[in-house]
């Protein structure tokens, strides 16, 4: 079946550092890929998405490119802020209605 693997956290960075959170997936066909973010005490919210190979999703300075050849969708940001501290979930949807989530990666940004 479909699966999503994320790097384990926590990831601890200083403010203005470069961020990469790795995400790889296993799926048949051509899934849509998502990054969701969960701030403390809140539900998940969509950060960005990409629906086909080579698409780049971007939002709030975050980017991720759908790489079918490496089955990856790594999340990047050039300069993180303390307010980016949260848990980030990579997910896929493969021609159905259900999202398959990765385990989540906690990001902690120190001032």
Partner 1 sequence: DAGVIQSPRHEVTEMGQEVTLRCKPISGHNSLFWYRQTMMRGLELLIYFNNNVPIDDSGMPEDRFSAKMPNASFSTLKIQPSEPRDSAVYFCASSIKPGGAETQYFGPGTRLLVL
Q: For residues 81 and 51, give the distance between their C-alpha atoms in angstroms, rounded to a whole number.
A: 28
Cβ 100 to partner 1, closest distance in Å?
9
Q: How many CB atoms lie within 10 A of CB 15?
A: 13
Q: For residues 11 and 30, give the distance between their C-alpha atoms in angstroms, rounded to a whole number.
A: 30
Asked whether position 31 contacts partner 1 by CB under 8 A, the answer is yes
Q: Which stretch binds partner 1 (CB under 8 A): 16-24, 28-36, 61-69, 73-81?
A: 28-36
CB 27 within 8 A of CB 2: yes
Q: For residues 50 and 66, give the distance between their C-alpha atoms in angstroms, rounded to a whole number.
A: 6
Asked whether position 44 contacts partner 1 by CB under 8 A, the answer is yes
CB 6 within 8 A of CB 104: yes
Q: Which stretch binds partner 1 (CB under 8 A): 8-16, 62-70, 75-83, 94-102?
A: 94-102
Binds partner 1 (CB under 8 A): choice among 16, 56, 98, 110: 98
Binds partner 1 (CB under 8 A): choice among 58, 72, 85, 93: 93
Residues that bind partner 1 (CB under 8 A): 31-32, 34, 36, 41-46, 49, 51, 89, 93-99, 101, 103-104
């Amino acid at each position: 079946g479909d699966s999503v693997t994320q790097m384990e956290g926590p990831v601890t960075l200083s403010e203005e550092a470069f961020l990469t959170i790795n995400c790889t997936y296993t799926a048949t066909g051509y899934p849509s890929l998502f990054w969701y973010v969960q701030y403390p005490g809140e539900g998940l919210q969509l950060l960005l998405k990409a629906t086909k190979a080579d698409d780049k999703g971007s939002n709030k300075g975050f980017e991720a490119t759908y790489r079918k050849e490496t089955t990856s969708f790594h999340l990047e940001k050039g300069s993180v802020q303390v307010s980016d501290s949260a848990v980030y979930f990579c997910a896929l949807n493969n021609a159905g209605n259900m999202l398959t989530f990765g385990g989540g990666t906690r990001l902690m940004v120190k001032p």
